[in-house]
Structure 1
Amino acid sequence: MSRRTRVPIGAAVLTTAVAALGVVRATGSDDATAAGGAPPPATAAVERGPLSATVSLNGTLAHRGDEDGAASPVINHAAGTYTRLPAIGDRIGCGEVLYRVDDEPVLLLCGALPAYRDLAIGDRGRDVRQLNRELHRLGDDRAAGVAVDPDDHDFTWSTRAALVHRQHRVGAEATGRVDRAAAVVLPRAARIAGTVGTLGGAARPGATVARATSDELEVQVDLEPSQQGQVRRGDRVRITLPGNRSTTGRVARIGSVARTADEDGDVGTATIPAAIRLDDRRAAHGLDQAPVRAEIVTAGVARALSVPVTALVGRTGGGLAVEVVRADGGRGLVAVRIGLVDATAGRVQVEGAVRAGDRVVVPSS
């Protein structure tokens, strides 16, 4: 089971949920008996077993962007003319050439801290540690015959040697320093989602040249206001892919910024973006911007006593009941309190004077 393994019987919100399904039948008496000569009623068994509550959403299979699902802007800091730009769908690895200005390469460096200054021997700071970590991860220090400490905040001679190796490898001028204009820092390797700059156009410092996502596919959904309190990080998800193929995943991120669908900014229509990470990325290989169906499991009960939702009837004076068929063929209403509703299975958790194996009346098909 996931985060919640028990749902209190008789929760008012679940009673409302069952009523909203429009399947609760009304009865005028708390007692019922079989009429003479009447055909036997349709029945279903009271069962004990697992139930799950789910939130069902339409989503899109897309490449991961920032925390709210958007592609990250690629900000240019070089002045000149764009002489090479990436194409939509290109995959650019950390330490590789992202684009060119005046035919000079601009490298993609990976990390959380954006580039804000030039770096050279003697500099110190978090951005230097980020550079040391990346050069070590790429293996440039070992290839240059030096050892760079990935946790070092200092730009050392070893840093310079590793950087020179990287610059030689990608065809950049081997200066042994990082010019802010010659590098772009993004959180991870990039997949180009769109370009803004124009080949042959002016490259202006501070302008967006492209937009990038990661190469990781995820399911992106929007949570309605009524769902935002139900869904949490780590919840299990069943995903239906195009072609009716299915796979599984977990809620990885829930955005922090609400979005409205109308121009008036009505908060009542605001949704929160959420992202679902696939358990098996190979299941979605070759897909992009594909519509999917996501069923997020928000609660679970391992051994719930349950009946079909359609077995519920409304009691005179309020409350709910099920109509139990006795061994002698007679029938009687038994008051029940309800708990978790499993909309996928069409069953509801009940508590009352019923037990597993009892037969309850359901509408005839």
Structure 2
Amino acid sequence: MSGGSGAPGTRRRARIIAATSLVALLVTGAAGAAVWSYGSGRTVTAGTASDPSAQTATVTRTDLSNSRTLDGTLGYGRATTVRANATAGANGGGTVTWLPADGTEVTRGKALYRVDDRPVSLLYGDLPLYRRLDTLNTVGRDVRMLAENLVALGYTIGNQPLPGQTVNVRLPDPDPDQGAGADEAPSRDADRDTDPSPDASTPATGGSTAPPTTKTASPSYLPVKVGPDDGVLTQELIDAVKRWQTYLGVPATGVIDASDIAVLKGAVRVDSVQVQTGDPADGPMLKATTTGKAVTLSMEATESGGIKRGQRVTVHLPDESTVPGKVSSVATTAEPAGAEQGPDAPPMVTVTVTLDNEAKARKFDSAPVRVDFAGESRSNVLTVPVTALLSLREGGYGVQLANGKLIAVTTGLFSKGQVEVSGDGLAEGARVVVAS
């Protein structure tokens, strides 16, 4: 049997696999690698007649465009969860004593919530504080985050060591409970500790007992080179921390615990609180969004391949005015459609759009909007359903005519379940087999 022939049932199963794989490739924007092969040449003629029960579609000649208008919701974007850092520290694992009201906007330095009546302050950054900062000359990116926030809040922190410089970080003192090291020889005076003679512990003058003397080890230091993204916990920075703590009304220790602050990318708007006062501070505390207006919309995963981050759009507001914007994010994971759309509804992805001029939308708290996505256009081209495409072993795609003949095609623009195709022997009006 030739490379293009096979049982009709096998061809149907292979077509479904190819179509499903193509959908997955479109969702990831990587429609290139073939995951199923069929035939050994660019054009193959089946050795047997096609399955009469196969579903077919007509090759059409039309104008194709991936410009589209979708419905969305104007609001504050997707909410993210803010969790309490229940590590050891002043606020770690305490009790929630205050929470903000829904809709509250919180900016740098302000309290997101309070634990044991101490504020957990919002700082801006990409790296959370993951340790206790209590040692002079501690080096790290988290230290730089703290320093930059204090400067933004108006505190002077002095000069920071430059990248490439070396600072000495004091190592923790030995634990006194561990006693002398195993290699340390016992003192010659140790026998006096068990001397039963009263004179052994009493001075000859009859005065009070002299206090015992202890041997204090010299502190140890570790030289650390400052990296290009590092900050250093200098004495000036510690002093700035103390001044900030005084302003917050907490003890001015100069020590910052990971549980004292919450690090987010910027100012936030409280969407909803997840706990009540009196609850333990050891999990999700609240959900927050950005303070700027944004549009969120859902679209079928198979249609999202042409939507790119940074793509320009036009948003139609409820008052019929328009405002330009751009795509700020496209979800990388498809989610099941809502129950109201039925069990057979295709998976959906979420797209977020930010507005160039938020002031035009501030009078709307939440409202339905329409979003125009500009795209490419093709005129007078042949098109087939996406489900008609087969992957070829040597790469590329083909379609199968109703008579069983396979034709290699070049794909062009994809739009709304249709794809632009061209290939030798493919003409308008021809019938092609599609996945059932």
Mapping 1:188-199, distance limit 5 Å = 188-199=266-277
Mapping 1:299-338, distance limit 5 Å = 299=376
Q: Partners of 2:415 and 2:346 in 1: how far apart?
A: 26
3-state SS in 1 of match to 2:335: coil
Q: Partners of 1:267 and 1:173 in 2: how far apart?
A: 59
Q: Which residue of 2 aligns with 1:256?
A: 332
In the superposition, relative to structure 1, how do residues 62 and 262 fare at CA in structure 2: closer, same or farther (>3 Å)? closer
Query: Displacement of 1:296 after TM fit?
Result: 0.8
Query: Displacement of 1:223 after TM fit?
Result: 2.5
Structure-1-length-normalised TM-score:
0.62
Q: Which residue of 1 aligns with 2:76?
A: 63
Q: Partners of 2:375 and 2:241 in 1: how far apart?
A: 48
Q: Return the match for 1:84 from 64, 88, 98.
A: 98
Q: Partners of 1:238 and 1:255 in 2: how far apart?
A: 20
Q: Which residue of 1 aligns with 2:129?
A: 115
Q: Partners of 1:249 and 1:177 in 2: how far apart?
A: 43
Query: Displacement of 1:243 after TM fit?
Result: 2.1
More strand by share: 1
Q: Partners of 1:194 and 1:88 in 2: how far apart?
A: 5
Q: Which residue of 2 aligns with 1:175?
A: 253
3-state SS in 2 of match to 1:261: coil
Query: Displacement of 1:178 after TM fit?
Result: 0.8
Structure 2 unaligned segments of length 5 or more: list them: 1-57, 87-91, 162-227, 381-411, 417-436
User: Is the contact made by 1:79 and 1:204 (CA closer than 8 Å) also made in structure 2?
Assistant: yes
Q: Return the match for 1:73 from 72, 82, 87.
A: 82
User: Is the contact made by 1:75 and 1:210 (CA closer than 8 Å) also made in structure 2?
Assistant: no
Q: Which residue of 1 aligns with 2:355?
A: 278
Mapping 1:10-21, distance limit 5 Å = none
User: Is the contact made by 2:311 and 2:327 (CA closer than 8 Å) also made in structure 1?
Assistant: yes
1:298 and 2:375 are equivalent in the alignment: yes
3-state SS in 2 of match to 1:288: coil
Q: Return the match for 1:222 from 298, 319, 323.
A: 298
Structure 1 unaligned segments of length 5 or more: list them: 1-12, 20-51, 306-338, 344-365
How big is each residue's C-alpha offset from its partner over 1:233-256, in whole Å with a ceiling of 9 and x where there is no partner? 222211111122221111122121
3-state SS in 2 of match to 1:242: coil
Q: Partners of 1:248 and 1:15 in 2: how far apart?
A: 35
In the superposition, relative to structure 1, how do residues 56 and 256 fare at CA in structure 2: closer, same or farther (>3 Å)? same
In the superposition, relative to structure 1, how do residues 241 and 177 fare at CA in structure 2: closer, same or farther (>3 Å)? same
In the superposition, relative to structure 1, how do residues 90 and 147 fare at CA in structure 2: closer, same or farther (>3 Å)? farther
CA RMSD of aligned residues (A): 3.4
How big is each residue's C-alpha offset from its partner over 1:16-41, in whole Å with a ceiling of 9 and x where there is no partner? 7759xxxxxxxxxxxxxxxxxxxxxx
Q: Return the match for 1:133 from 148, 153, 175.
A: 148
3-state SS in 1 of match to 2:375: strand
Q: Partners of 1:79 and 1:190 in 2: how far apart?
A: 24
Q: Which residue of 1 aligns with 2:400?
A: none
The one-letter amino acid of 1:156's match is T
In the superposition, relative to structure 1, how do residues 262 and 16 fare at CA in structure 2: closer, same or farther (>3 Å)? farther
Q: Partners of 1:14 and 1:218 in 2: how far apart?
A: 40
Q: Partners of 1:295 and 1:139 in 2: how far apart?
A: 43
Q: Partners of 1:192 and 1:168 in 2: how far apart?
A: 26
Q: Which has the larger radius of gyration?
A: 2
In the superposition, relative to structure 1, how do residues 236 and 300 fare at CA in structure 2: closer, same or farther (>3 Å)? farther
How big is each residue's C-alpha offset from its partner over 1:102-137, in whole Å with a ceiling of 9 and x where there is no partner? 211111122112232111233222211221222223
1:124 and 2:201 are equivalent in the alignment: no
In the superposition, relative to structure 1, how do residues 148 and 285 fare at CA in structure 2: closer, same or farther (>3 Å)? farther
Query: Displacement of 1:267 after TM fit?
Result: 9.5
User: Is the contact made by 1:89 and 1:193 (CA closer than 8 Å) also made in structure 2?
Assistant: yes
User: Is the contact made by 2:79 and 2:271 (CA closer than 8 Å) also made in structure 1?
Assistant: no
Mapping 1:86-105, distance limit 5 Å = 86-105=100-119
How big is each residue's C-alpha offset from its partner over 1:170-224, in whole Å with a ceiling of 9 and x where there is no partner? 323222121122222222222111101112x12233x111111111111111221
User: Is the contact made by 1:148 and 1:158 (CA closer than 8 Å) also made in structure 2?
Assistant: no
Structure-2-length-normalised TM-score:
0.52
Query: Displacement of 1:285 after TM fit?
Result: 0.9
The one-letter amino acid of 2:263's match is V
3-state SS in 1 of match to 2:374: strand
Q: Partners of 1:172 and 1:16 in 2: how far apart?
A: 74
